[in-house]
Structure 1
Amino acid sequence: MTDLAYDYLDLDGMFSAEELELRDRVRGFVRDRIKPNIADWYENAYFPRELAREMGASGLLGMHLTGYGCAGRSAVEYGLAAMELEAGDSGLRTFVSVQGSLAMSAIHKFGSEEHKQRWLPDMAAGESIGCFALTEPDAGSDPAGMTTRAQRDGDGWVLNGAKRWIGLATIADVAVVWAKTDEGVRGFVVPTDTPGFTATAIEPKLGMRASIQAEIALSDLRLPEDAVLPEVLGLRGPFSCLNEARYGIMWEAMGAARDAYEDALAYALERRQFGVPIAAFQLTQQKLVDMMLEIQKGVLVALRTGRLKDAGTLRPQQISLGKLNNVREAIAVCRQARTVLGGNGITLEHSALRHANNLESVRTYEGTDEVHTLIMGQALTGISAFA
């Protein structure tokens, strides 16, 4: 094995020393706290809530936000951290994404000063957990079709409706809930102990098993006037948060792909058939080369996108390229890695199939392949193909 096996194009040379220090610190956390336990957590569908405070102490929660106890890291640094967490498992990485890129980001961007002071420091520390309630049973790719409504009632609001596939909802302390009002779509900061809020875990699942996804029922849930996010009206609010999460996903997918590839490479060098390591066979080498090609290209896509984001010039349509390509290719890499592992690849001793199962969910949320294809199609042609 050579050094080219891990970084063929010397992509590390494109990162600063500070960026690499952060990456290596998160990689060490994943190595010590996640990888020794993830097979059991995945098999038992267990989310290790106890890691939230450790992640908070490491500055990983809302790390791209500034103030209120947040680390104020760059977009590239956030991407590198997300890539390393995903190499551990998507379920644990999803916690960081839902907490920081969705719930905390919504409050940071659009909340009142009172909202920010009340929730962000505790969320950054991992003391409080947040969720982001947008998707509904009948409104996934088309959030404008949501049926959850918030109606004014005296000096407050009453919410009724249902949400589905809401990460962390059963353990969340606060939910950012999006609902239709007479004025348009508004966001609401909802403490989850409010009467009328019910969250139920979605089980069983074939992927994202070390994570929590839930259904939320809102039944005559009463909120004060100041529960509304004051700085946004319409779908621009949730979409801006989704773009934060979509950006992170292009990095994250490459973490899963890299972990599956490295496991397959090590196995191929050790596993012997017909008197030689299977890495000596031409077809095995072709598989390993194809995996490395897509991982290196995917990291380059993510890095270029991150530099644009840090420069303030990134367009939402450009995020779709990375999300669409990197998740799609990461699934292919993980499936290919499984074939190198042979029958052993279906066990939890190896990561490839676990990552592939998780990525099937990642492929769907924060915009399906079809949605991102049409976003790119409209950017190329100037013509919207959405219904």
Structure 2
Amino acid sequence: MESIKAFCERKLLGYSVDQYIIMFVVFTIFLPHYFSLAAMVGVAIYLIYTKQLKKIIFNTPRGHWALIFGALSMAVSLYYQNYRGFMQCVGIVFVAIFILYYRNYVDERLFTFIVDTCCLLSLCCFVWGLLEYAQIVDRLGYPFDEFIVEDSPANRINSTFYNANYYGMMIQFLVLMCLYKILHAKTIHRVVFYVVTILCNLFVLYLSGCRAGWLSFLVTIPLIFYINKHKKTSLFLVLMIVLVVVIVLLNPEIFPRFDNILRYFFNRTKIWFTAIKGICETPLFGRGPSAYYMIYESLNGRKAFHSHSVYLDPLLSFGIVGVGMICYFAWPVVKEVYRLYAKKINIELFALIICAILAVLIHGIFDYTVFWIQTGTVFLLILNSASMYKKDTNDVTL
């Protein structure tokens, strides 16, 4: 009991009130999404009440641009009567405020707690996913141990993340967090814990039927070890991945939803061409989030809620001006991340951030799963974690 008490005191005591609030919001990310949104609305109200809102905005390089972007996107959405997009813009503003708040209070101890919490809560999502899968196969009349995965989104597990593909994106971040912790681990039992956590997450990724979720691992898993100078481990992982890919190509029936991948690819291309037509119609400001859902019918496109591309949907939704504002706001963050590597401050964190970005870009070829309150917030938490080392990066040339 004394050791448990000491562990709890070491892990849970000694944070500021603001850091405890951030911890609570992170916990809600692993609940259904409306809990996360409610928590972030609560954060905004708290910051207004305590008169911190102005401080956290202007303490962040170009922080006010996040709110300007949100206001512009709201105006564009209302102009095109895109009321769904308007509500999503409101959500963007609350997420942006929370991330600015996080940047002002994150330190190494808090970030370590957040990563550990995400890894631990992923096991709760794993159990939830198994129970969900048991209900699905019972309803469809399949035996549990055959691990059959249907095409229909209604018959694929999503745990607490609303959609199977959102869950797939979340699992990619969680696996990378576990690898980050393995690189820091000093005892074998901690390595075993994170390896088991990775395997559990990969198993439910399989059951989710999210095919694009596996693509980033071909690059990110070997790369995170390579960046950290574990070149032999990286090479071994590359060889293992090649072997697995060959086995799947020779036996496509062992991988869920692999046999119809070409049909789904051609469906995606129809969506992409429709999105490109939509971008050409409103290139400067877009039509607000969920613009694809507004235009697909008039352009004879395939029905979808978004354009299934992280490269096309931001342009369709926010236009060249909006995407330019995002890039302008993100540039100081890029400098912070680069400084981790250039100054050799925390190579493990640099590798985690780079691999998280690659996960979004690779998965984003076929889907737009980062544009969701849970996946987007976790990605932004990782991306902005470099701010704990230096707020001012003017000494970095990039």
TM-score (norm 1): 0.27
Considering fraction of residues, name the structure with more helix: 2
Larger relative contact order (C-alpha < 8 A, sep ≥ 6)?
Answer: 2
- Which protein is richer in strand relative to its size? 1
